[in-house]
Amino acid sequence: MLLITVDGPFLSILNKEIMVKEFTKTASEITGLSIDEILFFFKENPNENMAQGGIILSEKLRERREFLPK
């Protein structure tokens, strides 16, 4: 059995379905395991609990929105 853990931001159900389908297919091809032997676990985190480049992600996204054309 293979467990794939995705630790990141909140995703829509549609995005999760797409990710699970594509990752499961690829993991099955690489490992030779059947798709029934591949498990997914999502750990979703709010943007204020993540940082990139020394900046809290929620702040980074807020700054990016300020520079988008209106």
* pLDDT attached to residue 70: 60
- Domains by residue range for the chain, with CATH: 2-66 (3.30.429.10)
C-beta separation of 6 from 43 below 8 A: yes
Classify burial at 3, counting beta carbons within 10 Å of its beta carbon; exposed 0-12, middle 13-18, buried 19 or more.
exposed
Distance CA 21, CA 62 (A): 31
Q: What is the pLDDT along the chain (70 residues), one digit of tens a residue?
A: 999 999 988 999 999 999 999 999 999 999 999 999 999 999 999 999 999 889 998 898 888 776 666 6
Could you tell me the pTM of the whole model? 0.73
